[in-house]
Structure 1
Amino acid sequence: MPPPIKGWSSRLSALYSKHIKGVPKAPPVSPNTAALLSLLFTVIYVVPFYLSPATRPSPRLTRDAPSSIRARVRAVSFSCVVSVLLTVYVLHQTGHVSPWEIVKLLGLWPISLWDSARTMLLVAILFAGPLFEYGIVDGELKSWLRGRGVHESLSSWIGYRNYVVGPVSEELIWRALVIPLHVLAQFSAHQIIFLTPLYFGVAHVHHLYEFRLTHPQTPLSLAVLRSLFQFTYTSLFGFFAAFVFIRTGNVYTCVLSHTFCNWMGLPRLYGRVGVEAGEPIGPPDVARSHGDGSKLKGKGIAWTVAYYVILVAGAVGFYSLLIPLTESSHSLPVVLWEE
């Protein structure tokens, strides 16, 4: 049983006490306000992509074009500023939360490197199988230790979008802004964890339209399945990120986890290792290969067996360590377990 919430969060508990002397008390922020603002933030984030020829996708301008990425980064930056200002106003004026407590509710302070390190260890355990395949089987470990892969990833506009702008802006909107609104609206912990990420998933549905523009030869049914699959895994990550944000009160940890997951891509669930590289969530034009440019060669069956054993062990370890490795004194004032 986790320890009771301590510190600053206990002072906030009075804001959403459900009863005072038996009389129900209205939440500081109404549930409708929290839901409508979350939907508004999603619209503000996505719609600007289609308002300007510089950002609007077309058969001749894909979302991966450097000019489109630069324009979209500017649009996203503007959307984030507007969303932050709206959230701060509502929390302060409607929720009567002090500026210092707003900073804490948004997960901006305090910064706990220890909490971030433990959560990243948890994520690494989940991806133990892919780390084994990419680092050991494919021989990328030396490149990682030298930081070569980081430089190559961030030196392109696609990498900058996928590993910096995307994680920072998305975690700011759908974790640091949306979750505090739902906390003050007295949504339950389970509702916050499993409801708020759906806004995050919906924000990616527009990729179906973009994909159809740039891949008209792909059957509509396959394009829809691709979009549904993307909605599923973005929502699954959102469940985890929402849980981490509540448990640690730290948006930076969510950003790091998001970047790491984008970099790793989806784990291989079938096939032999060292034969075909799985398609990553990140840049589709970046394939895994040895540093000298040579093609990956097939490995013996023992490598594949080892991979799947490690993959399953990583999943079991993730489940077992999810609670202890996300324990923090900076958690948000949300009751996850009844006493």
Structure 2
Amino acid sequence: MGVWPVNPLDVVKGLLLTMVLFAGPLVEKLWLDRDPRDNFVMDVKTSLSSWIGWRNYIVGPITEEITFRSHILALHLSVPNPSLTTLIFLTPLYFGIAHLHHFYEFRLTHPDVSFHFGLVRSLIQFTYTTLFGWFAAWVFLRYGSLWTAIVVHSFCNVMGLPRFWGALEEVWKTWVYYTVLVAGAGGFYYGLWRWTESPNTLIVVG
């Protein structure tokens, strides 16, 4: 589901909406950092030259969106009168649970780290993967597009978690970053309905 028709405009709108959400981190990486473009762009290029980079930015987003959005959401949509709450908020739990195995991996690779630290780390990862799953489900359903969900997923993997605390090197940079971060969150909320309108939508909200 969501493979056809392909609407390039929906892909662009979905990516732009996500970039608005990450406005703060983008400003930090592309302007406020000491070596903006060299650090960020070169890091991505370097990552893509490795198998881990391909897994994180290309293969992972494709396979996970096919599985957790295109297939699982299709199953839930096949029942009569599917609940929007279930589609948006419950189906991403599969996505979050699928990442819990990282706790076991972390314990194997960091045997000296306490059990409780590893558990908290995994719970945090479960939380943000589930939160992303909510957004990815919304994107998939509103655009009716697997491709948009894949592009958004890949971009989020490239960006990582935004900085929510801590200061930058200079006070003015800190003010700029957090101002843009909050403004981006507001713009994202504003565009969450308006920018996701599509003739291919699988759900009608409002």
Tell me the TM-score normalized by structure 2.
0.95
Letter in 2 for 1:234: T
**Does the Cα contact within 8 Å between 2:29 and 2:37 map onto a contact in 1?**
no
Which of 146, 162, 168 is the aligned partner of 2:56?
162
Question: Using the alignment, how far apart are the partners of 2:55 and 2:72 within structure 1?
Answer: 22
List runs of 5+ in structure 1 lacking aligned partners: 1-105, 274-298
Which of 114, 128, 132 is the aligned partner of 2:27?
132
Which of 181, 186, 191 is the aligned partner of 1:321?
191
1:181 is matched with 75
CA deviations over 1:245-277 (Å, ceiling 9, x no partner): 11001011111111111111101011112xxxx
* 1:59-208 superposed matches below 5 A: 106-139=1-34, 141-143=36-38, 148-186=42-80, 187-208=82-103
SS in 1 for 2:4: coil
SS in 1 for 2:198: coil
**Distance apart, 1:153 and its partner CA:** 2.0
**Distance apart, 1:335 and its partner CA:** 4.1
**Distance apart, 1:142 and its partner CA:** 3.7
CA deviations over 1:116-152 (Å, ceiling 9, x no partner): 101111100000000011110115554489x644432
Which of 207, 213, 220 is the aligned partner of 2:108?
213
**Does the Cα contact within 8 Å between 1:190 and 1:336 map onto a contact in 2?**
no
**Change in 2 beyond 3 A, CA 1:140/1:322:** farther
Question: Using the alignment, how far apart are the partners of 1:226 and 1:148 within structure 2?
Answer: 28
2:157 is matched with 262
1:310 is matched with 180
- Percent of paired sites with the same residue: 49
1:300 is matched with 170
**Distance apart, 1:300 and its partner CA:** 1.8
Question: Using the alignment, how far apart are the partners of 1:255 and 1:144 within structure 2?
Answer: 24
**Does the Cα contact within 8 Å between 2:44 and 2:158 map onto a contact in 1?**
no
259-268 or 181-190: bigger deviation: 181-190
**Distance apart, 1:176 and its partner CA:** 0.5
**Change in 2 beyond 3 A, CA 1:144/1:246:** farther
Letter in 2 for 1:336: V
CA RMSD between the two structures: 1.6
Higher Cα radius of gyration: 1
SS in 2 for 1:322: helix
1:294 is matched with none
List runs of 5+ in structure 2 lacking aligned partners: none
Question: Using the alignment, how far apart are the partners of 1:144 and 1:183 within structure 2?
Answer: 43
Question: Using the alignment, how far apart are the partners of 1:194 and 1:265 within structure 2?
Answer: 21
1:336 is matched with 205
CA deviations over 1:169-221 (Å, ceiling 9, x no partner): 00000000010110111321121111110000000011111110111111111
